[in-house]
Amino acid sequence: MDADVRQMTWTELAALCTNLEKACTKQLKEEEARAFASLASFYASKRKAQGDASLDDLLALIEADLSTGYRSANEAANYADDRGAKRALLWGEKATKLLKSLLARYAKQKEALTADTGVFVCEICGFVYVGQQPPEVCPICKVPSFKIHEVKKEAI
């Protein structure tokens, strides 16, 4: 058995099925999309609550992704010569760097950063934007604003 193979976590399985659901939806495969949505919901229900993580904990995880996670993933994508994975990793790394910057601002400004404004997330690349309206086009992956959704204030 390959040393790199490991059992996926509930969270990873939920994310994978959510992504497969989106792919099936784009391909107009509604039955398959519903099946993956059901699986994503099942796996999401199995996740254990992370408890109270601090902002520093989150920043440490982001730093680990930026320093080692993306490097490993890019090596695998280069080895497989997978242009789609390379593009997604580029978008993800850019969005993660912007998120790190946004969280650093939040650490200084706290609730004032999001007071009287919206928080928006691109469903394609994960870009996070704080402002009154989402940008017309995502600056990372270039999708139109209808793919950028507002995060409800209760969840922030």
Q: What is the pLDDT of residues 13-72, one digit of tens each?
A: 988 898 899 888 888 999 999 999 999 999 999 887 767 778 888 899 899 999 999 999
CB 17 within 8 A of CB 43: yes
Which run of H or E residues covers position 115?
none
Q: Is the pLDDT of residue 3 over 60?
A: no
- Give the global pTM: 0.68
Q: Is the pLDDT of residue 80 over 90?
A: yes
The single-letter code of the amino acid at 67 is S
- Residue 29's φ and ψ, nearest 5 degrees, are -105, 80
Please give the pLDDT value at position 156.
45
Mean per-residue pLDDT, 109-134: 88
Picking from 76, 81, 17, 84, the residue whose alpha carbon sits closest to that of residue 44 is 17
Kindly state the tokens that stand for 8. 């996926």
